Amino acid sequence: MDIKHQLDIIKRGAVEIFSEEELVRKLELAQKENRPLRIKAGFDPTAPDIHLGHTVLLRKLRQFQDLGHEVYFLIGDFTARIGDPSGKSQIRKTLTEEEILENAKTYKKQVSKILDLDKAKVVFNSDWFNKMSVAEILSLTMRVTVSQMLARQDFKDRLEQNQDVSLMEFMYPLLQGYDSVVLKSDIELGGTDQIFNLLVGRDLQKDFHQEPQVVLTMPLLEGTDGVNKMSKSLGNYISINDTAEDMFGKIMSISDELMFKYYTLLTDEDLVLVKNMHPKEAKVILARIIIAQYYSIDVAKKAEEGFRRVFASKEIPEDIPVFKLTKALAVVDLIVDGGLAKSKNEARRLINHGAVDFSGNRISDDKYIIEVTGVLKVGSRRFLKIEKI
């Protein structure tokens, strides 16, 4: 594949590249010498539930794999025990070795839905850090100055606000940078919040007489609210473990503007074509594509049908009350709590009479558990939109 075309794929959705000239040179040289580039990305095995926000980077890695390059999937099991608070105001709690290994396992299982882990090299940085001597680690600290570290925005902000910055946090970028030296990475990918640490890697590689890695940053994907970074703790996330129905409902709930961003970062679709589609239809297709990535095209179609049956049909009024589901609930409880019946006995009677359906499916069992997004209908006029938090 010609460089121009490779570059188009690599640049899609990327925020910054340090530098594009170096990237082109590396791509050309790799092609000429018929060898793959070494692509590095580091992952903290601290959040085992992968959501679409995480997949932005993973998909980019997959693109590099598809272009024939070699991906180093670095599990920062050593650094996770330290914790890097880039963009966060709190020091992360440190994990035990056991927790980290358990998380790493779950992580890899989920990642395999996106990356070809058979082709990727999965590496753990405890492999080299556990073997290093104190003298070696100290010699790393000689290679950066305090002023350099103080230039990092979140350090600067926190110090100005008289918040603690542990000296350990100054060590983190160094360790991450040293990973690049060990892996001899040609390119490192990271979120925009990682830019400082990624550039330290370039500096360290130069110190160790290596060609510095190209740094490529990807945006932090906004969650379904369209405002905040997608995050489990904010409840605005779409997990890749969500049911197809949940995924569909959540994706249909996002704004048109955010939809376009999701298309850019979460699909390979031609963006010119997307722009010419009707937003509502484009959103349905987006949902279909994403679900197909994690389930199958058939499951995606089924979820779409269910959604269309409930929402797209004219049966359901526009403004129906919303019930925020914080945990799985039995349908009888949900009917009572949602105000669709006065008592559990009345709810049971309605179910027995075949007057209750959930997202288009009649419910006949009063012990039926509702735990996903959908629409609960009682009789012909009472509706409740169930939103899972």
Q: In angstroms, what is the minimal distance from the CB of 169 to its own copies?
A: 8
Q: Does 82 interact with its own copies (rule: CB under 8 A)?
A: yes
How far is the C-alpha of 25 from the C-alpha of 312, rounded, in Å? 51
Q: Decide: 325 and 389 in contact? Cβ < 8 Å.
A: yes
How far is the C-alpha of 271 from the C-alpha of 13, rounded, in Å? 11
CA distances for 257 relative to 11, 100, 260, 283, 284, angstroms: 20, 37, 5, 11, 14
Residue 127 or 371: the one with the smaller Cβ distance to its own copies is 127
The DSSP symbol for 193 reads G
Number of residues that bind its own copies (CB under 8 A): 34
Residue 164 or 318: the one with the smaller Cβ distance to its own copies is 164
Q: In angstroms, what is the minimal distance from the CB of 164 to its own copies?
A: 5
The DSSP symbol for 318 reads S
Residues 312-371 that bind its own copies (CB under 8 A): none
Q: In angstroms, what is the minimal distance from the CB of 157 to its own copies?
A: 13
- From the list 151, 159, 322, 328, which residue makes contact with its own copies (rule: CB under 8 A)? 159
Q: Does 161 interact with its own copies (rule: CB under 8 A)?
A: no
Conformation bin of residue 40: beta by default, left when phi > 0, alpha when psi is -120 to 50: beta
How far is the C-alpha of 95 from the C-alpha of 48, rounded, in Å? 13
- From the list 32, 142, 317, 326, which residue makes contact with its own copies (rule: CB under 8 A)? 142
Residue 169 or 246: the one with the smaller Cβ distance to its own copies is 169
Residue 37 or 100: the one with the smaller Cβ distance to its own copies is 100
How far is the C-alpha of 384 from the C-alpha of 21, rounded, in Å? 56
Q: Does 160 interact with its own copies (rule: CB under 8 A)?
A: no
Which residues of this protein are in contact with its own copies, per CB under 8 A? 78, 81-82, 129-130, 132-139, 141-147, 149-150, 155, 159, 162, 164-171, 174
